Amino acid sequence: MQTKQQKEVLVQEVVDKIKDSKALVFANYQGVNVKDITELRRELRKSGSGWQVLKKTLLNIALKNAGVEVNSRELSGQIGVAYSKDEVVAAKTLADFIKSHKGTKFTIEGGSLGEKNLSAVEVQALAKLPSQDELRGQLVGTLQAPISSFVRVLGGNISGFVRVLKAIEEQKA
């Protein structure tokens, strides 16, 4: 049993994590074994995200103190929260976890993007979006394509000119 002071410290830590995060995903982890939860935590840590399990009352207090208008008591089951500094990483990681662990009862119950509440369906849609790094890669590819094409065209004109000169040289020889 935690003391009131320990609970206050825990709630403050969670408030700080929530304030640093752009997205939160609430999931019912009831029936998932410790090994699988540890694997989930490891996957989230790789992307700079995290997983926190709290009693709903403490989670409610932390959410309220962080300015997030979600009532965790309305969420079903044992609730854990995944937090992320990227908008889609936590949702994507949890969705991938659900796909790879089909035998478990792990379900996404909802989420929060900034101060906007998200339903489970909206979190699933968020998980299908590309991450910031993927979007940056697509942007770089899009910006690079016209330049690459221009260089190929210039190279083609020069190589064509060289071939014509070589044909003239062979003709005169």
- d(Cα 63, Cα 75) in Å, to the nearest integer? 13
Say if residue 24 is in the same domain as residue 104.
Answer: yes
Chain segment 70-119, per-residue pLDDT in tens: 887 888 888 899 998 888 888 898 999 989 888 788 888 888 887 788 88
CA distance 143 to 72: 44
Instruction: Give yes or no for residue 1 having a pLDDT over 80.
Output: no
Domain that holds residue 78: 4-129
Same domain, 48 and 102: yes
Tell me, yes or no, whether 94 and 34 share the same domain: yes
- Do residues 47 and 87 share a domain? yes
| Residue 170 and residue 106 share a domain | no
Express each pLDDT in 124-152 by its tens digit. 888 888 877 788 888 888 888 888 877 78
* For residues 31-35, average pLDDT: 88
What's the whole-model pTM score? 0.74
Same domain, residue pair 98 and 144: no
